[in-house]
Amino acid sequence: MKGGGWCNDIASCNGRKYNHRGSSKYFEHEIPFEGILSNKQDENPDFYNWNRVKVRYCDGASFTGDAYNTGGLYFRGQRIFEAAMEELMSKGMRYANQALLAGCSAGGLAVVHHCDEFAAFFPRDRRVKCLADAGMFLDAVDVAGRRTLRSFFNGVVKLHRSVHTLSRTCTSRMDPTSCFFPQNVIPNIKTPLFILNTAYDAWQVLESLATSRSDRQGLWTKCKSNHALCNGNQIQFLQGFRNQMLNVLSGFSKSRQNGMFINSCFAHCQSERPETWYAGNSPQIGNKRIATAVGDWFFDRSEIKEVDCAYPCDGTCHHLL
């Protein structure tokens, strides 16, 4: 499942009509299959000879929308997901003995919201699991004490009427916006799920924690451009974000069927990049690279609950802006 952010109002959604995030007219003619999608054994040892599919992302709500004409737009993310899966099943996926639904960023969030739905397409005797890469968007307080991402997600959920497609187990006890956040959905997922995330997610630092609106004096400008320039107070704030991430995952990690790899890097999306998936110098926790950890978990070779020590202890990171 491809990533690509979200749109939370008519203007931002209308703008997506004119690029690859909202219209097939602007899709790239060729897209790379790297990392977990690579067909080279030395780059992707466990999944290189699988049938691999990239699902285009075009709805702006992690495939949760289900609204009629709103400002000249139709929000049909849920139906797009269902149609894509039904098409793949008709092309032979129904015969798969093993299947993995994976995605990064907004695609990682889509995996969280559709994991059990995906598993339901297959007989129960098949091995079906899910991998959410950089999809743990936290309901966190920003540097100004506001909840920037919650406000944004609230617009997404209302505009796309995602309440109709979100987990009913969640919406029966919480508001729909809370149920768009993965932290409130993962406790109820029955299908084995692997969470791959950095403890200092680069996108969330820029777009949720220290936005230009929440940092009007520009005190975080240098820190955001280079984490080595963060002062002590800023590092302490980021360590608090890491602690929140680990607290959210504490219950999730107790299930033997689930897996996780939380490394202390400033990055976003690691499964599709060859340099972070299985390269010789790719990120590691202990002696496990990300591809090894995911493979060991998927094939039940070992239980994977890898959590890195806090920044700056990890020397294997590929820090990305």
In tens, the pLDDT along 97-144 reads: 999 999 999 999 999 999 999 999 999 999 999 999 999 999 999 999
Q: In the annotation, is 24 catalytic?
A: no
Does the pLDDT at position 73 exceed 90? no
Sign of CA dihedral 288, 294, 297, 301: negative
pLDDT at 221: 95
Q: What is the mean pLDDT of the chain?
A: 95
Q: Output the pLDDT for position 72.
A: 81
* The pTM of the whole model exceeds 0.75: yes
Q: Is 105 a catalytic residue?
A: yes
- The domain spans of the chain are 10-307
Higher-confidence residue: 70 or 17?
17
CA separation (Å) from 37 to 20, 53, 136, 291?
20, 8, 21, 11
Q: What is the per-residue pLDDT for 69? A: 72
Catalytic residue among 113, 114, 160, 268: 268
Q: Which of 201, 227, 308, 314 is catalytic?
A: 201
Give the pLDDT of residue 77.
95
Catalytic residue among 38, 105, 167, 208: 105
Kindly state the average pLDDT of the residues 162-174.
96
The reported pLDDT for the residue numbered 23 is 86
pLDDT score of 321: 59
Strand 67-70 with 73-75, pairing: antiparallel
Residues 6+ positions from 16 with CB-CB distance below 8 Å: 7, 22, 23, 58, 60
Is 268 considered catalytic here? yes
Q: What percent of the chain has pLDDT over 70?
A: 99
In b/e form, how buried is each residue of 164-173, taking b as 16+ CB within 10 angstroms? Answer: ebbbeebbee
